[in-house]
Structure 1
Amino acid sequence: DGERAAAPAGPAARAVSGPAPLPATERTPPCTLPPSPLAPRHHWVVDASAREAADPTGHPEEPPRVVATVLPSAGRGAPASPGGSARPAPGASAQPGSAAQPDVSAEPGGAAASVVLEAVSRTGVFPLSDLGERMVLTTDLGFDSLMLQELDIIIARHAPGFPTEETFKPGLTIGRLTELVAPHLTHAPAPAVPPLPREPWETPAPRGDEYAATAGVDGFPEVRQFEERLDAITAGGADFPYFRVHRGTIRDTTVIGDREYLSFGSYNYLGLSGHPAVTAAVHEAVDRYGTSVSASRVLSGERELTVRLERALAAFLGVDDCLALVSGHATNVTAIGHVVGAGDLVLHDALAHDSILQGCALSGAARRPFAHNDTDQLAHMLRANRSRFRRVLIAVEGAYSMDGDLVDLPAVIELKKRYGALLMVDEAHSIGTVGEHGRGVGEFFGVDRSGVDLWMGTLSKAFASCGGYLGSSARMVRWLRHTLPGFVYSVGLTPANAAAALAASELITAERVRALRRNAELFLSLAASAGLATGSSAHTPIVPCLLGDSARTLRVADRLYERGVIADPIFHPAVEEGLSRLRFFVTSEHREGDIRRAVSVLAQEVSAAGG
């Protein structure tokens, strides 16, 4: 069309070449940031001379061993007096299970030895009987910087104020670590318990196929269960509805094989994937920067293109700054895993995306779901639990992709403020689609952007690209830029993806968003008039048709496909058992006649499929 043909010269050129550089007076001078108090990372190179200097006397083949009683997980917390360095009782046997095994926790400094040895044993997966006080953590036990960090965290639970930096010095031995811990010890081990049973690698070699079920993935019971579910999907004769190969760009239509279908199965909400301006920007970016930045952005992977994308996203959202990452799913996982941890609590909507749940699991924080959009239950959980945790994070979505409804953002922000919680909003499906200019639920509800701690979103939907972003205050983003594992240890966005998202951001206009909203409202009203169950869908381009039974849902999806309409069937565990549905993603590119035809065909096939 005429609008698309005229567009490439503007956004495409600006996406690659960009504006003139900022005057020198406006540039922010570089600064050195302190390490993150939540997740310090220490790295060094240990050369041969350092290894030799670690113990000038050399290590005997069998160094003296220090045996300690392992602390049971539930038995920590009793007060203790600090002591000196640990030594085995003279003449005592050092073999596990020996009747003469000493209880080092009863000796001066024994409590510190117990703490250190248990921490080293757990972190390095070594039997206690294999550990000696002259062993060097790095060269003898193979500890890397991440293992040392884990060791430091375990020790700090018993010895607050322990000098963390000492843990990361090359040449540190178990004996020296015990001496460092002892003056800071405030939590003694529990009373002595029997020694650990022999480790798996100390048991006799297995016989026959004792471990056959776990020796290869093909033998896993969950693989067999998955295959049974897969067979059940097509048992009624319907075609398998997933992984169909599409030819070309999916907008309002798509081509599979040699046939064109009316598509309601993609996230190309504004039709910007395949837009000439976006495509031209991608070509220019690849010509200039190549196909990959080939490194973490912290090192040699930074490109001006991505920096300008982050500025554009920040302006679009109305926040101070943004950080772009290579995966939307991974953005949630690494952000939640970084912001909260053990001793914290995450309260999330019961319909939260898998990436939020995976982030909770990574973090080690406690997790509690509240009923979908039930702010009364959320308030009750905050009232009952806030004082019990260091931090509480509320995680919600702007628009829920299974139900097509919005979060009650003002109510959630009010609860966040009242109870001193953190708030993260996942705008994967609401950014670009909700609000007068597509700027998400923040614009839709007219809230102060600072009322949300983390605005998360994806680039793979309205922004016609791939990746994720985090928007927040300048201070928060600066901290994330230097410490967030999923960013620091990951390659940067490809030039193509950065250019596509940047060009798309310039093409998201109120006119496009209004066209999308008109189409979504038309689909929803026609479905309601036809007596179709659309649940709580409102104000979004996502319209579910709830059918309940999985077999019935698959039959209807198969019949729609035969009649040239694509809508994806959704079953358990993506939704609750008994709430299977067809999910329709409406775009700004759909024509009124196509929407009317799709709803008419849907109503006919739902009726024909019966209850």
Structure 2
Amino acid sequence: MPTAIDVFAKVRGHERSEQLRAAREADLLPYFRRLEGPAGPVVEMEGAERIMLGSNNYLGLTADPRVIAAAHDAIDRYGSGLTGSRLLNGTLDLHLELEAELAEWMGTEEAIVFSTGHQSNIGALGTILAPGDTVIADSGDHASILDGCLLSRAKLRPFKHNRLDRLEKMLERAGEDGGGVLVVVDGVFSMEGDVAPLPRIAELVKGHGARLMVDEAHAVGVLGARGAGASELLGVEADVDLRMGTFSKSLASCGGFIAGPHDVIDFLRISSRAFLFTASNVPASVGAALAALRIVRSEEGPQLFSRVLENAAYLKQGLSGLGLKVVEDPSGIVTPVVPVVVGDDWKAVLLWRALYDAGVYVNVAIHPAVPPGGALLRTSVMATHDAATLDRALDTFARVKAAFESEHGALP
């Protein structure tokens, strides 16, 4: 009788195992580091104070007393959790208020709130798309978009990052596939921090009779006069069929949403397995997100948007002035994400460690999060960073870069 192959065999000796082992032994693993206090511009992490340049807390609202009070109020009123799905016992008046205000903010008919941003993408894409349909995605799209595409079993036609000639070619091919066609792109790409050329994308999509979905996770609360994202900034809101966003960045909480036409949102509400078969957001997260959204939509919002983008421009100019290779958006649009290209994975990890030891925390992106040979340090800023803190960070980068290059050779 044949013996079954051990399904766990793949976890031993996989391509990353030796790298992980070596990184752990040398204490160079840049992931799963312990935060020991609030997620502010300067944090306590593993027993030391470090300047935080690796957070998506773009507006700094996780420390806002109104957001914290709203989370406490929600716990006091509803308890720590709802222990059920939205379909059954997990819908609060807070959910309904949040969904109504999100739809109004996005300028859409309705919105639906999911427990996480990842679930928002897989819940929408895995439900709206079906075998026989075609989905066209930018190669730089977030992993949750790819997961949703794969879950749907629709035909996936990717195109090289922001290459609109390739998008056009994929649209032409999709027209021969026989099913519905959806194009999905990030508004702001999470690793590179660049912005999708949405006006031309929308024009191509419309010209081929397809639909367009934009993931605004890193753009809402940052771009546009009312902070409604890249679609607003670039004037294409009316041409975007679905907008996705998260609460775990500018909205200082955890969760996500899809905004769009009533019939599509209603279909998701009764058909999306990621919505129907998962527990509802805990009350504190909904209360906090609603309070943060109201701050963003108040007269304070534009001041916060301006501050975070000014900080990003300041950091980008400072890093470039040090001779570091900073990713530039061809459009010139500034976002809170300021990536520094290193190239080699190990060099990126070693540079991360040197910065970490010197008191600056940044994120490391290596393959497959970025293309092979495209390792980068992903820095990001908050509206609550001040110039003195950013100057300290830049001074640290300068010292670390000089010492690093003397030992390991020039950076790109």
Q: Which amino acid aligns with 2:292?
A: A
Q: Which moved further from structure 2: 548-557 or 479-488?
A: 479-488
Q: 2:324 aligns with which of 504, 517, 532?
A: 532
Q: 1:490 Cα deviation (Å)?
A: 2.1
The 3-state SS of whatever aligns with 2:193 is: coil
- Where does residue 304 of structure 2 map in the other structure? 512
- What pairs up with 1:293-308 in 2 under 5 angstroms? 293-308=82-97
Is this contact kept in 2: 1:238–1:554, CA < 8 A?
no
The answer to whether the aligner puts 1:419 opposite 2:211 as a matched pair is: no
Q: Whose strand fraction is larger, Structure 1's or Structure 2's?
A: 2
What are the within-5 Å matches in structure 2 for residues 223-262 of structure 1?
A: 224-233=14-23, 237-262=26-51
**How far apart, CA to CA, are the structure 2 residues paired with 1:604 and 1:234?**
25
The AA in structure 2 aligned to 1:518 is E
Alignment of 1:199-218 (within 5 A): 204=1, 206=2, 210-211=3-4, 214=6, 217=8
Aligned to 2:376: 581
Q: How does 1:542-561 map to 2 (within 5 A)?
A: 542-561=337-356
Using the size of structure 2 for normalisation, the TM-score is 0.93
Distance 1:221 1:473, change over 3 A: closer
Q: Deviations over 1:176-225 (max 9, x none)?
A: xxxxxxxxxxxxxxxxxxxxxxxxxxxx3x4xxx44x515x2x3355554
Q: Secondary structure at the match of 1:331?
A: helix
* 1:238 Cα deviation after fit: 5.0
CA 1:606–1:579 in 2, change beyond 3 Å: closer, same or farther? Answer: farther
Q: Which ranges in structure 2 are unaligned for 5 or more consecutive residues? A: none
CA distance in 2, matches of 1:500, 1:272: 9
Q: How does 1:38-437 map to 2 (within 5 A)?
A: 204=1, 206=2, 210-211=3-4, 214=6, 217=8, 219-222=9-12, 224-233=14-23, 237-437=26-226
What is the letter of the counterpart of residue 290 of structure 1?
G
Please report how far the alpha carbon of residue 590 of structure 1 lies from its aligned counterpart in structure 2 after TM superposition.
0.8
Instruction: For 2:399 and 2:167, locate their aligned partners in 1 and report how far apart those are by CA, in whole Å.
Output: 40
The alpha-carbon deviation at position 333 of structure 1 amounts to 1.2
User: Is the Cα contact below 8 Å between 2:253 and 2:285 reproduced in 1?
Assistant: yes
Whether the 8 Å CA contact 2:33–2:46 is kept in 1: the answer is no
Give the C-alpha shift of residue 389 in structure 1. Answer: 2.8
Answer yes or no: is the 8 Å Cα contact 2:115–2:279 preserved in 1.
yes
Whole-angstrom CA distance in 2 between matches of 1:334 and 1:223: 33
What residue in structure 2 maps to residue 474 of structure 1?
262
Q: Residue 450 of structure 1 contacts residue 473 of structure 1 at CA under 8 Å; is this kept in 2?
A: no
> Aligned AA for 1:493?
N
1:570 aligned partner = 365
1:487 aligns with 2:275: yes
Pairs aligned (count): 399
**How far apart, CA to CA, are the structure 1 residues paired with 2:207 and 2:14?**
49
**Deviation at residue 227 of structure 1 after TM alignment:** 2.4
- Residue aligned with 2:340, SS: strand
TM-score by length of 1: 0.63
Percent identical pairs in the alignment equals: 36
- Larger RCO, structure (CA 8 Å, separation 6 or more): 2
Separation in structure 2 between the aligned mates of residue 248 and residue 234 of structure 1, nearest angstrom: 24
Q: CA deviation at 1:263?
A: 0.6
* Pairwise CA distance, 1:405: 0.6
Q: 1:391-429: CA deviations, max 9, x gaps?
A: 111010010111111111111111111101111111111
Task: Give the partner amino acid of 1:534.
Answer: V
Where 1:342 maps in the other structure, the secondary structure is: coil
Q: 1:388: how far off?
A: 2.2
The structure having more radius of gyration, on CA atoms, is 1
For residues 461 and 513 of structure 1, the distance between their equivalents in structure 2, rounded to whole angstroms, comes to 13
Give the superposition deviation at 1:234.
Answer: 5.0
Give the Cα separation in 1 of the matches to 2:53 and 2:169.
Answer: 39
Structure 1 CA distance, aligned partners of 2:34 and 2:100? 36
- Mapped partners of 1:224, 1:298: distance in 2: 40
- Paired letter, 2:242: L
Q: Contact 2:220 / 2:227 at 8 angstroms: preserved in 1?
A: yes
**Alignment gaps of 5+ in structure 1:** 1-203
RMSD in angstroms over aligned alpha carbons?
A: 1.7
